[in-house]
């Protein structure tokens, strides 16, 4: 089973309009309400690709209920901890023809008892399972939450994937995550300088491996992706051609696609192809990638 954790899920209220004018009334042309959060996105795409997955994390109030309803419609298993107080946050995303604006909510407070309930779920995982840690940590939880989890599970031989940024990522490296997935901009941020060439990115990836990471998957949007494997082999894949429609969830989709490819083939090059095809399928669609969309793009990469 592949488990994902979303510590800070949200209902994304997405509105599209021709032009945004502040200080006055604006009328939308389109609007959507979509349950989101990096781990949730990963579970949805894994499920679309036919993989067994369960979404973990915390939800609260009617907004949390709506996320569960949407996941049920997708057929995704969930085992969220239901918080006694507060509301799962709402993120407002305004997309105009000339600019985009986001207002992200804070989210509910998570008590120690509720956190202990999550730990009990994680303690039940076995070496047959994969755990994906993705996204930000709410202010009510320790900032080293990912480290705490990886230390707790260190002797259980669970395959752990981490998709996070800055210190949240670098501090887990001593616990030897199976896969980390920074993009080229996030790598530049970690190392404090612009990494613009393949050699620069590979060197940075190997530096992270020297600190404990096993496989490093680097996404580069329209320039494709690079995988530096645990044995130092460098794999590359171009991005398939398409029109960018919505980049939200593309990185999460890449993680889902990579793990699908790896689990099904045990071949890292094939896993990379699956990752880039799945990430691109989401980027070229209004919604998260479906299996048919992924297979169509995969065919253009591998043939």
So which residues are the catalytic ones?
A: 252
- According to DSSP, the β-strands at 53-59 and 81-82 are parallel
CA–CA gap between residue 170 and residue 204 (Å, rounded) = 12
Q: 250-265 and 268-283 are packed helices; what angle lies between their axes, rounded to 10 degrees?
A: 150
As given in the structure block, the two tokens for residue 137 are: 């940590």
Looking at residue 290, the DSSP 8-state letter turns out to be P
Residue for token digits 């599970």?
153
Please name which of 132, 221, 232, 226 lies closest in space to residue 185, comparing C-alpha atoms.
Answer: 221
CA–CA gap between residue 254 and residue 289 (Å, rounded) = 10
Cβ contact 129:158 at 8 Å:
yes
CA–CA gap between residue 45 and residue 134 (Å, rounded) = 14
Which residues are 161's β-sheet partners?
132, 179
Using DSSP, state whether 270 is helix, strand or coil.
Answer: helix
């Amino acid at each position: 089973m592949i488990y994902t954790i979303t510590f800070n899920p949200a209902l994304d209220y997405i509105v599209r309009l021709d032009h945004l004018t502040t200080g006055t009334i604006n009328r939308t042309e389109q609007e959507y309400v979509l349950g989101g959060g990096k781990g949730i996105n990963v579970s949805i795409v894994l499920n679309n690709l036919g993989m067994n997955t369960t979404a973990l994390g915390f939800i609260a109030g009617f907004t949390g209920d709506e996320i569960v309803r949407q996941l049920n419609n997708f057929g995704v298993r969930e085992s969220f901890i239901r918080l006694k107080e507060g509301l799962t946050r709402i993120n407002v995303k305004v997309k105009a023809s000339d600019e985009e604006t986001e207002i992200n909510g804070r989210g509910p407070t998570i008590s120690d008892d509720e956190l202990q309930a999550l730990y009990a779920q994680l303690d039940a995982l076995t070496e047959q399972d994969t755990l994906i840690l993705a996204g930000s940590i709410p202010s009510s939880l320790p900032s080293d939450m990912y480290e705490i989890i990886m230390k707790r599970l260190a002797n259980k031989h669970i395959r752990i994937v981490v998709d996070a940024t800055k210190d949240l990522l670098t501090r887990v490296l001593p616990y030897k995550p199976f896969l980390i997935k920074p993009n080229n901009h996030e790598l530049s941020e970690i190392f404090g300088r612009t990494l613009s060439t393949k050699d620069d990115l590979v060197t940075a990836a190997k530096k992270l491996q020297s600190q404990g990471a096993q496989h490093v998957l680097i996404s580069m949007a329209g320039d494709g992706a690079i995988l530096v494997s645990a044995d130092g082999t460098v794999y590359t894949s171009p991005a398939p051609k398409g029109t960018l429609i919505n980049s939200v969830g593309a990185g999460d989709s890449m993680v889902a696609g990579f793990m699908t490819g790896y689990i099904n083939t045990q071949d890292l090059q094939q896993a990379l192809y699956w990752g880039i095809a799945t990430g691109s399928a989401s980027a070229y669609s209004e919604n998260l990638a479906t299996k048919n969309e992924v297979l169509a793009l995969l065919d253009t990469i591998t043939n």
